[in-house]
Structure 1
Amino acid sequence: MSSAIKNLLTGEFIMTMGVSTPTTANETDLKLTIVNPQNLYDPTPNGYSTAVIVPNGARVAYISGQGGQDSTGGLSSDFAVQVEQAYANLRAAIEALGAKPDQVAKLTIYVVDHDMSKLEVLTSNVKAMFGKALPAQTLVPVPKLAIDPMLFEVEAVVILD
């Protein structure tokens, strides 16, 4: 690790998340590093981390926004059902890449007509999928998404190796 990064991380809570890398001799070279500075609000109870450092030389995949459509294209009108299905869809996309949730560095979520009542649904779903390996995350309230009945969408940045 460079001295600049070491200086940046001084006084901050740091957690390293494992990334499965069967082809590398030094497994520690390909781990995501979570950074939650002590002088900032602790975001982990809300299901995200302040920052994630991607290892040098890692390949990155970008997963398009996953909505709450089931495998037939059906879409529930219930927000909680859409969120749960969207995370199931995201997990399927991650696994199709040969990756695991602890390899996700960043999420961007879009919520139609967001209000504080939706946070518990969002937080419980992200914690269920990621456990303690919480990626960096941004929530963007939007007036609508690509399909009118869509209420939620999640996209991800995944570190492959």
Structure 2
Amino acid sequence: MPLEIVHPEGLDRPETYSHVVIAEGTRLVFVAGQLSDDPDGDLVHPGDLAAQVRQVFANLGRALAAAGARPDQVTKITIYVVGHRVEYLPVIEAARVELFGAHKPADVLLGVATLAAPGYLIEVDAIAVIW
């Protein structure tokens, strides 16, 4: 099994991510932070977090596919959310599950003051290992 999920003793078992992912493979894929952009690079869904989240994870899926990687080969993601609040978590999780299904890469979720330009509310980057 190229990805091994480890549940360390003494740590909780999160529903949405894994504390430790051990990877074996032949290629590493590093995906830059994906924003809520259309193919022309224009912001879509300004001010609508739920719509931006869906667009961001769809863009992440496209980027992974372009590299020949599948969502279940992602080992870690970092999620940046402008003005993060706990009530955003279900919205983020719904889009995340749409891309990853039951796969739970390691993750970090950071609340930030701003992203690359005004109007962007979420950004997600990823690391994958292809076997």
Which TM-score tier does this pair reach, normalised by the shorter chain?
Answer: over 0.9
Residues 111 and 139 of structure 1 are in contact (CA less than 8 Å); yes or no, is this contact kept in structure 2? yes
The residue identity in structure 1 corresponding to 2:121 is L
Aligned pairs (5 A) from 1:1-161:
28=1, 31-43=2-14, 45=15, 47-55=16-24, 58-72=26-40, 73-77=42-46, 78-161=48-131
Residues 43 and 119 of structure 2 are in contact (CA less than 8 Å); yes or no, is this contact kept in structure 1? no
Looking at CA atoms only, which structure, 1 or 2, has the larger radius of gyration? 1
Residues 58 and 159 of structure 1 are in contact (CA less than 8 Å); yes or no, is this contact kept in structure 2? yes
Larger relative contact order (CA 8 Å, sep ≥ 6) = 2
Residues 35 and 49 of structure 1 are in contact (CA less than 8 Å); yes or no, is this contact kept in structure 2? yes
Q: Partners of 2:71 and 2:9 in 1: how far apart?
A: 25
Identity %: 40
Moved more, 100-109 or 32-41: 32-41
The residue identity in structure 2 corresponding to 1:67 is L
Moved more, 69-78 or 143-152: 69-78
Residues 75 and 149 of structure 1 are in contact (CA less than 8 Å); yes or no, is this contact kept in structure 2? no
> Would you identify which runs of 4 or more consecutive aligned residues in structure 1 move more than 3 Å?
none
Unaligned runs of 5+ in 1: 1-27
Unaligned runs of 5+ in 2: none
The residue identity in structure 1 corresponding to 2:57 is Y
Offset, 1:84: 0.3
The residue identity in structure 1 corresponding to 2:45 is S
SS in structure 1 opposite 2:44? coil
TM-score by length of 2: 0.92
| Superposition RMSD in Å | 1.3
Q: Deviations over 1:72-118 (max 9, x none)?
A: 32321200100000000000000001111000000001000000110
Offset, 1:154: 0.2
Offset, 1:38: 4.4
